[in-house]
């Protein structure tokens, strides 16, 4: 989404044209699926972005579209209760 306050074609026209061209000509993947896996001793805190997370596995992420301009955030933190050598959950 782009915002042009008080749009004036003489001032914003070239910027609008370049951004529209970029959006219409970039490569895009549709209905992408990927997995985020983390090592023992770490846990997922939050996942953000335009995506769906499969509730059964919680590591399978489905994105309606993927392109070079998308940003997804997968935040992890060290698990306080993890002891090295303990079995995986």
The predicted model scores a pTM of: 0.58
Q: How far from the centroid of its chain's Cα atoms is residue 16's Cα?
A: 25
Q: Which residue from 56, 33, 34, 36 is spatially nearest to 45, judged by alpha carbons?
A: 36
**Distance, CA of 50 to CA of 1 (rounded, Å):** 13
pLDDT of residue 23: 92
Residue carrying the six token digits 């399978």: 60
Q: How far is CA 44 from CA 12, 13, 73, 75, 76, in A?
A: 42, 43, 11, 6, 4
pLDDT of residue 84: 76
pLDDT of residue 19: 94
Tens of pLDDT, residues 14-60: 999 999 999 999 999 888 888 888 888 888 888 888 888 877 777 78
pLDDT of residue 88: 57
pLDDT of residue 16: 95
């Amino acid at each position: 989404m782009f915002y042009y306050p008080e749009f004036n074609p003489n001032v914003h026209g070239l910027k609008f044209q370049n951004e529209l061209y970029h959006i219409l000509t970039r490569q895009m993947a549709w209905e992408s699926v990927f997995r985020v896996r983390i090592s023992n001793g770490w846990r997922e805190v939050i996942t953000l972005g335009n995506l769906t997370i499969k509730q059964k596995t919680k590591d399978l992420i489905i994105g309606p579209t993927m392109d070079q301009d998308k940003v997804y955030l997968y935040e992890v933190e060290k698990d306080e209760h993890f002891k090295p050598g303990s079995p995986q959950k």
